[in-house]
Amino acid sequence: MIKKSSIFLTGGSGLLALNWFSLKKQDYSIFLGLNERIINLKDSNIIFINFDSVDSFKNQLKIIQPSFVIHAAGLTSVEKCEYNPDLAYQINVELSKLVALVTKELKIPLVHISTDHLFNGESSMLLEEAPTCPINIYGETKASAEKVIMQINPNALIIRTNFYAWGTTYRKSFSDYIIESLRKKEVICLFDDVYYTPILAEKLIETVHELLHKKAIGVFNIVSDDRISKYNFGILIAEEFGLDKSLIHRSTLKDKPNLVRRPVDMSLSNKKVKDLIGKNLGTVKQHIAKLHQQEIEGKIQEIQLL
Ligand SMILES: NC(=O)c1ccc[n+]([C@@H]2O[C@H](COP(=O)([O-])OP(=O)(O)OC[C@H]3O[C@@H](n4cnc5c(N)ncnc54)[C@H](OP(=O)(O)O)[C@@H]3O)[C@@H](O)[C@H]2O)c1
């Protein structure tokens, strides 16, 4: 029997890593690197990551010998980062540095998952060359992580994105929130002055694999083809899932002065990746249809039950 190549994911209990597992477990041996949360998932390899030192993490990777490492661990709550900047720096920057050092030394290709939260929100559909200009601690730490990784490991692939997918009982995505609320007939308020280019995690993951196949390095925006407001994202979900869109009310970020400052436009251009792989990544509407199809096919139940 041919031995499958393996993938090591940090942030193994998180939204993205679990969707990676679900999508790629037939083709790869998936190692989910955990921190605190314990999960039990058939066919996965669960490893508690030892980030105590470069050597301890290095020894773990030496044993596993993954074909590549996906660094998806992070402190992802904008609020938690703002109120715990040291912790945000420790998790988002220092851990990324350690992962970059070890993968560089062991010559294992690294994919670092960055964000669309790196700019001040005054421009739309930004390209990869745009200088970063974060306006909150989450964005600052993610921008610093990119710089540190590029210095240490210039062969890393850095992915700027914003994704949604079916989540777990303990980690809901934005689409879960909308679908669950509307199914319970609850009114929700979504910002119609905040724009982004969200992508379905499945499409994000497939595109990262295409880039790895092409041995791409450097920064790539992997996002949907079109820019949309959070409000209109909710409306598209309601339409696709046959839910009552009158339950979605418009709200505005500018009327929420107590929220941690956020960019009002996070949209990124996917031109660079499109030119390299020679095809469109798809529209938000197409991706939402795929999200619905995933539910109908029941492929994501193992994640939803966690
Ligand atoms: N979700 C989005 O739409 C979005 C958008 C843009 C970018 N991103 C980026 O994409 C990546 C994945 O996001 P996600 O939404 O899948 O994350 P998530 O669901 O919030 O999961 C974060 C993961 O990081 C782990 N983690 C936290 N602190 C850690 C530590 N000290 N050591 C090791 N692991 C630690 C968590 O494990 P424990 O729970 O056990 O601590 C968890 O597995 C992140 O880098 C995020 O910044 C996400």
DSSP string, 262-274: --SB--B--HHHH
Specify the CATH number for the domain of residue 220: 3.40.50.720
Query: Is 115 within the bounds of a domain?
Result: yes
* pLDDT score recorded for residue 305: 82
Domain membership flag for residue 84: yes
For ligand 1, the distance from its centroid to the CA atom of residue 236, given in whole angstroms, is: 26
Q: Using a 6 Å cutoff on CB, does residue 51 contact ligand 1? A: yes
Q: Is residue 1 part of a domain?
A: no
Q: Is any ligand 1 atom within 6 A of the Cβ of residue 73?
A: yes
For residue 112, which of 143, 84, 140 has the smallest C-alpha distance? Answer: 143
Query: Is the alpha carbon torsion for 266, 158, 4, 17 positive or negative?
Result: negative
Helix (H) or strand (E) holding 183: helix 174-183
Predicted local confidence at residue 160, as pLDDT: 98
Give the CA count within 13 Å in the CB-facing half-sphere of 28.
20
User: Rounded to 5 degrees, what are φ and ψ at 252?
Assistant: -130, 140
Question: Domain count of the chain?
Answer: 1
Ligand 1 lined by 16 (C-beta under 6 Å): yes
pLDDT at 104: 97
Asked if residue 203 is part of any domain, the answer here is yes
Number of DSSP helices (H) and strands (E) in the chain, helices first: 12, 13
From 16, 49, 93, mutation site for ligand 1 pocket: most ligand atoms within 8 A of C-beta: 16
Residue-level pLDDT at 301: 82
Contacts of 55 (CB under 8 A, 6+ apart): none
**Residue nearest ligand 1's atom 47 by CA:** 76
Tens digits of residue pLDDT in 48-70: 998 888 999 999 999 999 999 99
Among positive and negative, which fits the CA dihedral 212, 213, 216, 219? negative
Ligand 1 atom at minimal distance to the Cα of residue 11? 43
Structure tokens at 8: 């090591």
Residue 247 lies in a domain: yes
Does ligand 1 lie within 6 Å of residue 33's CB atom? no
Does residue 256 lie within any of the structural domains? yes
Indicate yes or no: pTM above 0.95.
yes
Nearest protein CA to atom 7 of ligand 1, as residue: 115
Mean predicted confidence (pLDDT) in 260-280: 97
| Cα–Cα dist 163/211, whole Å | 17
- pLDDT, tens only, 96-142: 999 999 999 999 999 999 999 999 999 999 999 999 999 999 999 99
Q: Which domain holds residue 68?
A: 6-304
Say if residues 88 and 81 touch (Cβ distance below 8 Å).
yes
Query: Phi-psi category of 56—alpha, beta or left, where left has phi over 0 and alpha has psi -120 to 50?
Result: alpha
DSSP bridge partners of 268:
126
The answer to the question of residue 289 being in a domain is yes
Residue 184 inside a domain? The answer is yes
Tokens 């920057």, residue located: 93
